[in-house]
Every structure is written in C-alpha cells, then in structure tokens.
C-alpha cells in the first residue's frame, strides 16, 4: 500500500483553508441568526424568484391601499361629524322656534330669530369644511369652497326676496323656496360654488369601492339652510312683519326643520354604510398584508432554532481546527527527540 506524504507547507495551507471555510460558515450563520434572514436567497429559492416577486408586489399594493383607506376613513368621518353637527343645530333650532311661537313677547321672538341667523352661519361654515386639504361637500371641485360665505348668501337671498315683492309670510315662504329649491334658482346659480359631479368612489382594494356622493347642494342640506335662513328673515326690518306674522314664519320654519331631520338622518345612514365598507376593507387588507408578510418571512427567513444549532456545531468545529493546528505546530523532530 503506497504511502502519501504531505509536506509541512502543504499541511499548513490545508489547515488555513479549513479554518477559512469554517470561519466563513460561522459568519454566515451569525448573520442569519442576527438578521433572521437567509444569507443566500437564490440558493434557498433554487433560482426561482417568481413567488417572492409576487408576494412582495402584493405587499406593496396593500401598503398603497392602506394609505388610501386611511384617507377615506378620515374624509368620511369628518363628513359624518359635519352632518351630525348640522342635524343637531337644525333640531335644536326647530325646538326653539316652535317654543317661541307660544310666547307673546316680541323680545323672545326676535331673540330666537336672530339665533337662527347664527345657526345658518354655522351650517354654511361647516359645509365649507375640509379634510386632508380637500373640500368635503363640493363634489369634484375639491380646491375651493363649496358654498359662498353665509353673509354673501344672505345678501343674495335678501335681494331675491326684495325682487319678489314679499309682503306676507306666504310670499316669503315662496320666495325663499324659489331661491333654495328651484332648479336654476339663486342657490344653484350663486350660492353653491362646488361641482355638480360627485367624487369618484374610494378604491379600497382590488375589488371593493366605497361611494361618496354627498354635496352641499344635497336636498336635505339645502332644506336645513333654507329653513334657518327663513326664520332669520322674520325680523328683517325691511319686511316689517307684525308679531303674529313673525310667529307664523318661525312656526313654519320650525316645523320644516323638524320634518327635515329624517332626511338628514337618511344622508348620514348612507354615509355610515360606506364607512362600514371602508372599515371592513381596512380589516381585510390588514389580514391579507399580515398573511403576505408571513409568506415573505417563510421565503426569506432563516429557521432560528436550526441556525442556532448549526452555529453551535460550527463553533465546536472551529475550536477543533484550532486545537489540531496547535498540536500539529508542536510536532517537530527536535521536540520528539528532546
């Protein structure tokens, strides 16, 4: 049997290569243990990145939907809060107006009528509100205001009332109705400055959308503004109504405001339905994203338990290499014959 001898230099080079190899394994395993990710993804996936690319694309898409649904949630909730405010103001004013009709004190009637003007201004200001730097109730015209200012609208309304030659409460009812509710009337041509086109539906994910079609020219909202403005005109000095006529106007405005509560509730209910769709989409998108992240982790992540075991084994192996190297370095003829 032939004997193969290895020279000292060759043996030293072999041990150096072995040490380098073990250290490389140690560095790789230390990285995987520290980062939780595989060091050689290509080898792990056997060169097929299609699945990983699909997963990472879906994660990116879901991240985009997360931003979109959050914007939609904030926008619709702000709109819901505004509608709630309008409903509450209209309801409180209705009760005050109806109560004032039972009083024979001119001061009480005048006070309630003046408060109606304040409520009208509050409604108009609220309906000009914005969310995420977009107009809430202006349709696709999201940059500017959806309504002219309350002061300008009252000036425009009073001009229409004067032009109509109002003398009696019935004349006033007709003139105010024409301004706010007639197609092509003063409200549509002057007061409403938004778009007549609704906002596009909110895209929630690949298959779902949420509608948002509430504008300041919505019938229920126009009625609320109309009736509060009507009540405020009861004390307009140019009309010079008597106490009984003022009470008739306040009673009519109060009855209309009370009857319009259901219409505002219906608008809020439709918005609430779409808010629920948004909330459901947020939950669904979050679940899908969590699932995709888990799949990505399975593809890229290193098994921490397995890596820890391998790391320990390599440490032992490196220690053994060092031990062997140390012993070989002592095997010299001089040491042997000493």
Looking up residue 168, the CATH number of its domain turns out to be 1.20.1330.10
Q: Clarify whether residues 171 and 269 are in a common domain.
A: yes
pLDDT (tens digit, 9 = 90+) per residue, 117-132? 999 999 999 999 999 7
Q: Is residue 75 part of a domain?
A: yes
The first and second tokens of residue 261, run together, are 């509560």
Q: Clarify whether residues 285 and 148 are in a common domain.
A: yes
> How sure is the predictor about 163, in pLDDT bands with cuts at 50, 70 and 90?
very high
Among the ranges given (44-48, 55-59, 70-74), the one the predictor scored with the smallest mean pLDDT: 44-48
Q: Clarify whether residues 27 and 107 are in a common domain.
A: no
Mean pLDDT of 233-262: 95
pLDDT for residue 201: 94
pLDDT for residue 23: 56
pLDDT for residue 58: 84
Q: What is the percent of the chain with per-residue pLDDT over 70, rounded to a whole number?
A: 72
19 vs 7, more confident: 19
Rounded Cα distance, 94 and 69, in Å: 37
Q: Is residue 1 part of a domain?
A: no
Q: Clarify whether residues 91 and 221 are in a common domain.
A: yes
pLDDT for residue 111: 94
Q: Clarify whether residues 198 and 319 are in a common domain.
A: no
* CB atoms near residue 110 (< 10 Å): 15
Q: What is the percent of the chain with per-residue pLDDT over 90, rounded to a whole number?
A: 61
Rounded Cα distance, 228 and 115, in Å: 9
For residue 162, pLDDT beyond 70: yes
Q: Clarify whether residues 34 and 162 are in a common domain.
A: no
Q: Supply the range of the domain harboring residue 227.
A: 53-290
Mean pLDDT of 194-221: 95
Q: Clarify whether residues 215 and 239 are in a common domain.
A: yes
pTM: 0.77
For residue 5, pLDDT beyond 90: no
Q: Clarify whether residues 133 and 31 are in a common domain.
A: no
Q: How many domains does the chain have?
A: 2
Q: Clarify whether residues 188 and 78 are in a common domain.
A: yes
Most confident of 56-60, 74-78, 309-313: 74-78
For residue 209, the SS3 value is strand
Mean pLDDT of 299-317: 58
Rounded Cα distance, 8 and 10, in Å: 6
Q: Clarify whether residues 215 and 325 are in a common domain.
A: no
For residue 210, the SS3 value is strand
Contact 299, 45 (CB under 8 A): yes
Q: Is residue 297 part of a domain?
A: no
The first and second tokens of residue 243, run together, are 């106490």
Q: Clarify whether residues 204 and 308 are in a common domain.
A: no
Mean pLDDT of 49-68: 82
Q: Is residue 44 part of a domain?
A: no
Q: Clarify whether residues 247 and 275 are in a common domain.
A: yes
């Amino acid at each position: 049997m032939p004997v193969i001898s290895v020279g000292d230099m060759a043996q030293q080079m072999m041990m150096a290569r072995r040490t380098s190899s073990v250290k490389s394994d140690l560095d790789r395993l230390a990285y995987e243990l520290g980062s939780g990710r595989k060091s050689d993804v290509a080898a792990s996936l056997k060169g097929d990145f299609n699945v990983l690319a699909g997963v990472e694309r879906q994660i990116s898409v879901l991240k985009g939907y997360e931003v979109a649904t959050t914007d939609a949630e904030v926008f619709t909730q702000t709109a819901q809060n505004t509608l709630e405010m309008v409903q509450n103001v209209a309801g409180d004013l209705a009760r005050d107006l109806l109560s004032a009709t039972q009083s024979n004190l001119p001061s009480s009637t005048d006070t309630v009528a003046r408060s109606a003007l304040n409520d009208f201004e509050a409604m108009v200001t609220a309906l000009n509100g914005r969310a995420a730097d977009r107009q809430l109730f202006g349709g696709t015209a999201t940059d500017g205001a959806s309504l002219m200012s309350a002061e300008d609208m009252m000036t425009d309304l009073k001009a229409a009332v004067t032009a109509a030659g109002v003398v009696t409460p019935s004349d006033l009812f007709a003139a105010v109705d024409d301004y706010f509710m007639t197609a092509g009337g003063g409200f549509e041509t002057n007061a409403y400055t938004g778009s007549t086109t609704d906002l596009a539906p909110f895209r929630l994910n690949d298959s779902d959308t949420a509608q948002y079609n509430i504008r300041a020219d919505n019938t229920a909202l126009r009625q609320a503004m109309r009736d509060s403005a009507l009540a405020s005109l009861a004390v307009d000095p140019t009309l010079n109504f008597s106490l009984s006529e003022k009470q008739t106007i306040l009673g009519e405005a109060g009855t209309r405001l009370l009857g319009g509560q259901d219409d505002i509730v219906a608008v809020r209910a439709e918005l609430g339905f779409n808010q629920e769709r948004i909330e459901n989409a947020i939950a669904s998108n979050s679940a899908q994203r969590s699932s995709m992240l888990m799949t990505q982790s399975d593809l890229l992540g290193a098994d921490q338990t397995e890596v820890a075991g391998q790391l320990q084994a390599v440490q032992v192996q490196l220690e053994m290499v060092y031990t062997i190297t140390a012993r070989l370095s002592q095997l010299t003829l001089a040491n042997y014959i000493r």
